[in-house]
Chain A
Amino acid sequence: MTTDTHEITLTVNGTTRELRVEPRTLLIHALRDELGYTGPKVGCETTLCGACTVHVDGKPVKSCTMLAVQADGADVTTVEGLGEADELHPLQTAFQEEHGLQCGYCTPGMLLTALSLLEDEPDPTRAEIREALEGNLCRCTGYQNIVDAVETAAARMNAAEGAD
């Protein structure tokens, strides 16, 4: 069997990175093992849990079910690109304050899916938040606080927008 590798370019959180991957390398492994972005998590590996969610060209996708070669040339955003420790994204602050996490394993994926929702719909209803997060499973929180956190973040982001 061939062990050919392919040279690909990924722009991760604004930084352009070149790497060589086997065709079978999944995007999640390219990000974590080759490039050191350990924000996206490996959960179910079966496209169900959403822990591996990253943005590819601005849209949330499950990176355990995309080949790295398919993402060649793409802009990728991981949770590392969302905020800095001393300057968290409003979603991150809201998850902290509303207890939107316990073990935290689902959180990077939750944040990126929620971010995409708020980009499309800055003022979502609770039902819309639940619908948007359908592909992200959490085994700890029972979801209630996650929905609260997204609602809080939306309200703050809208207030900040209004103040500008």
Chain B
Amino acid sequence: MYPASFEYVAVDSAEEAIDSLAEHGDREVTLLAGGHSLLPMMKSGLASPEVVVDLGGVDALSGIERGDDATRINAMTEYAAVADDEGLWSDNPVVPEAAAAIGDVQVRNVGTVGGNVAHSDPAADLPAAMLAADATIHALGPDGEREIPAADFFQAMFTTALADGELLTAIDVPHLGSDDAAAYVKKASPSSGYALVGVAVVLETDGEEIADARVAANGAFDHAMALEPVEEELVGGSLDDESLPERAAGRATDDVESYLVLDDEQASSEYRAHLLEVYAERALETAIDRVGDGSNADG
């Protein structure tokens, strides 16, 4: 299986990538990051770009930088580096836990955080984690830089707030407070490893009370989405209320028309909706168990 022929452009900087996208704007041009979504699509003929701009040589787009309030994950950072990053595990484990759940060892060595988020595959793991983390996405385009909250980023299947000619450069993941907790749990597809459903949770607590909650899912809908009714049920609830996870998770599809739940050969929409409730409950229980651990999770 060979991809069709294309023109290959290697760039050294993000600016050069933007210029190259603009220069070839009249042709079908695409960015190449880890290639673990793009190359399978090119090999099967689902994508046949005329120009491929490879970000692999842009060192400045790689690596993890720990700030005081947030950790910056540059776009070309591979999942394996995120899954192994001790700082992230202690500052906001929802992101490394989701990165560690992706594919297999070989996929995690090559796939990139920026590619995953920019591609917005409905069954990818990082989008829900970015929603729960309340991450900020940095984009660079011909008109300069802009910041996009994760909540505004994922719009539809393979569709994000990025404009044509724009590049995702980095993602800022805010740090959790010491009383907060997070979790990502996933039901992987037995064949592909992608998420049949994946649920990401971040809980902010004040004593025994849940002061704020962000719960998001991938796999279930055409794009990663916040589960707002679940969040509503949680906020103001007590960590000691043993029926809370089940009650809140039971509202996972409350606001969602049933036709919006994905239905394919791997799982019917009815089964997916059920999985979503089960995995939401597990994610909530896991996060609640971790409250007070200080470090949130063990890597």
In the bound assembly, the distance between CA atoms of A61 and B6 in angstroms comes to 23
Interface set, chain A 12-67, CB cutoff 8 A to B: 22-26, 29, 45-48, 50, 53, 59-62, 64-67
The reply on A124 being an interface residue by CB < 8 A is: no
In the bound assembly, the distance between CA atoms of A64 and B44 in angstroms comes to 13
The reply on B24 being an interface residue by CB < 8 A is: no
- The one of B7, B39, B105 that contacts A4, using a Cβ cutoff of 8 Å: B7
Given A47-B36, A65-B35, A66-B39; A1-B106 close (CB under 8 Å): no
Given A2-B7, A4-B7, A69-B8; A45-B105 close (CB under 8 Å): no
- Pair B105/A70 contact, Cβ less than 8 Å: no
The reply on B10 being an interface residue by CB < 8 A is: yes
Q: Which residues of A contact B44 (CB under 8 A)?
A: 46
- Pair B107/A4 contact, Cβ less than 8 Å: no
- The one of B10, B40, B104 that contacts A46, using a Cβ cutoff of 8 Å: B40
Give the number of residues in B that approach A within 8 Å (Cβ atoms): 32
Q: Which residues of A contact B193 (CB under 8 A)?
A: 134
In the bound assembly, the distance between CA atoms of A110 and B105 in angstroms comes to 12
The reply on B43 being an interface residue by CB < 8 A is: yes
Q: Which residues of A contact B107 (CB under 8 A)?
A: 47, 62, 135
Q: Which residues of A contact B54 (CB under 8 A)?
A: 67, 69-70
The reply on B110 being an interface residue by CB < 8 A is: yes
- Pair B110/A65 contact, Cβ less than 8 Å: yes
- Pair A24/B6 contact, Cβ less than 8 Å: yes
- The one of A2, A45, A69, A132 that contacts B43, using a Cβ cutoff of 8 Å: A45
Given A69-B54, A134-B105; A23-B5 close (CB under 8 Å): yes
- Pair B106/A23 contact, Cβ less than 8 Å: no
In the bound assembly, the distance between CA atoms of A116 and B6 in angstroms comes to 33
- Which residue of chain A lies nearest to B107 when distances are taken between CB atoms in the complex? A135
In the bound assembly, the distance between CA atoms of A34 and B248 in angstroms comes to 58
The reply on A92 being an interface residue by CB < 8 A is: no
The reply on A113 being an interface residue by CB < 8 A is: yes
- Pair B7/A59 contact, Cβ less than 8 Å: no
In the bound assembly, the distance between CA atoms of A48 and B193 in angstroms comes to 9
Q: Which residues of A contact B2 (CB under 8 A)?
A: 24-26, 29
Q: What 10 A-B pairs are tightest by C-beta distance, nearest first?
A: A135-B104, A23-B8, A134-B104, A59-B109, A1-B5, A45-B1, A24-B3, A135-B106, A62-B106, A2-B7
A-B contact pairs, 29 of them (CB 8 A): A1-B50, A3-B5, A4-B8, A6-B8, A23-B5, A23-B6, A23-B8, A23-B52, A24-B3, A24-B42, A25-B2, A45-B1, A46-B40, A47-B36, A47-B40, A48-B192, A50-B104, A60-B105, A61-B106, A61-B110, A64-B1, A65-B40, A65-B110, A66-B39, A67-B32, A69-B54, A70-B56, A116-B105, A135-B107
Interface residues of A (CB under 8 A from B): 1-4, 6, 22-26, 29, 45-48, 50, 53, 59-62, 64-67, 69-70, 72, 113, 116-117, 132, 134-135
Besides A53-B106, A67-B54, A134-B104, 19 other A-B contacts (C-beta < 8 A): A1-B4, A2-B5, A2-B7, A4-B8, A22-B5, A23-B6, A24-B6, A25-B2, A29-B2, A46-B44, A60-B105, A60-B109, A65-B39, A65-B43, A66-B110, A67-B39, A69-B10, A70-B35, A135-B107
